[in-house]
Amino acid sequence: MKLVSFRVSTPVGTFTRVGAMHGRSLVDLNMAYTRWLADHGEAQPHRLANAQVPSSMLAFLEGGTSTMSAARQAMGYAVTLDPSATGPSGETIVYATAGVQIAAPLVDPPSLRDFIAFEDHIAATSKRRGQPIPPEWYKAPVYYKGNHRTIIGPDEDLAWPLNTTMLDYELELACVIGRKGQDIAERDAQHYIAGYTIMNDFSARDVQFQEMACRLGPAKGKDFATALGPCLMTSDEAADLGGLSMVARVNGEEWSRGRFGTIHWSFPQMIAHVSRGETIYPGDIFGSGTVGGGCGLELDRYLKPGDVVELEIQPIGVLRTRIVGATS
């Protein structure tokens, strides 16, 4: 499934709910399961549906395999209904995708780790500093912890940050953890991945370079925003990660192209490393780091106010961000 978080406006407020893509439509999984329960004679379908197929993505992931199984059942049932069918109390079940505001798959994830797992990328950035790849990089997957409170979703604007003169994009794939665990063996780690999404680890390079000269960070140079989306493609639909093509465009012009199969450290290796003596949780996000050639730093080319950045990894989709505001 391609899971999404989407926003629904009601007379009492705006709510973010979990859906699944079906062609040009989006199925509200909680409402679809509620309808399935009602049609099968359940007296309190809303209560049971809220427990089994929660309407927030984090709670959905925390529900584990039983929630995913119920969601698939709900999805299968929803596509058999008339598109105008409603829930037991008249709620919308199926939306036209074009009329829905898609949010980041996880608007407020528990944690965000971003790795530097592509050898071509660390080789290029090390060369810019006149240095070789640090030998320690080959010993274990290296990451930093990002700001999980500044997530933006597809088609959300990014306000120009920190008076930077070197705003950069980073073309990445991210995996989202679906099970709690500790001391996970690499051979078992795949079972802890709920799915994958596109990640743009925006960077203010001048700020980043200044703070990392003190041998800590990155922090302010990246913490202002990370984009995720447009969907969370469940791991069963990602049989061949290595074959995924990764493309970045700015104002429609291709700036970067790479292949995920060039990665040195795999997601299972990252999970095994992070979980050693430490618990990982559903909703934790692991960014792959930038694919080789996948950022402006490697091209000596940076973003400007008004630019539209598109990261595309099919079949996940396109993650689009418009840069607004101006330098001063």
Q: Angle CA(310)–CA(311)–CA(317) in degrees, nearest 5? A: 105
Which amino acid belongs to residue 272? A
- Rounded to 10 degrees, the C-alpha dihedral 292/298/304/308 comes to -10
Instruction: Examine the pLDDT at 303 and tell me if it is beyond 60.
Output: yes
Instruction: Examine the pLDDT at 84 and tell me if it is beyond 80.
Output: yes
pLDDT at 285: 98
Residues 230-264 have pLDDT tens digits of 999 999 998 889 999 999 999 999 999 999 999 99
What is the average pLDDT value for the chain, to the nearest integer?
95
Instruction: Examine the pLDDT at 327 and tell me if it is beyond 70.
Output: no
pLDDT at 11: 76
Q: Which residue has the higher pLDDT, 83 or 226?
A: 226
pLDDT at 13: 79
Reported confidence tier of residue 12, pLDDT bands at 50, 70, 90: confident
Q: Which residue has the higher pLDDT, 217 or 59?
A: 59
Cα dist. 21→104, 143, 205 in Å?
Answer: 14, 32, 36
Cα dist. 168→95, 208, 250, 310 in Å?
Answer: 35, 11, 11, 13
Instruction: Examine the pLDDT at 124 and tell me if it is beyond 80.
Output: yes
pLDDT at 253: 98
User: Which of 2, 15, 312, 303 has the alpha carbon at shortest distance from 159?
Assistant: 303
Find the radius of gyration of the CA atoms of the chain.
Answer: 20
Residue 180 and residue 251 in contact, taking contact as beta carbons nearer than 8 Å:
no
- Report the alpha-carbon distance of residue 198 to residue 170 in Å, rounded: 10
What does the longest C-alpha to C-alpha distance in the chain come to? 70
CATH architecture of 106-324: Alpha-Beta Complex (3.90)
Instruction: Examine the pLDDT at 34 and tell me if it is beyond 60.
Output: yes
For 33, the token pair is 């399961």
State the DSSP code for 238.
-
Residues 91-113 have pLDDT tens digits of 999 999 988 999 999 999 999 99
3-state secondary structure of 8: strand
Average pLDDT over residues 265-275: 98
Instruction: Examine the pLDDT at 328 and tell me if it is beyond 60.
Output: no
Half-sphere exposure for 191 (CA within 13 Å, toward CB): 9
Residues 57-73 have pLDDT tens digits of 999 999 999 999 999 99
What percent of the chain shows pLDDT beyond 90? 91
User: Which of 199, 196, 193, 171 has the alpha carbon at shortest distance from 181?
Assistant: 193
pTM of the model: 0.96
Ranges of CATH 2.30.30.230 domains, the chain: 2-102
CATH architecture of 2-102: Roll (2.30)
203 has which bridge partners?
A: 168
> Can you say how many angstroms the Cα of residue 297 is from the centroid of all Cα atoms in its chain?
22
Ranges of CATH 3.90.850.10 domains, the chain: 106-324
Cα dist. 12→8, 9, 289 in Å?
Answer: 11, 8, 40
pLDDT at 10: 73
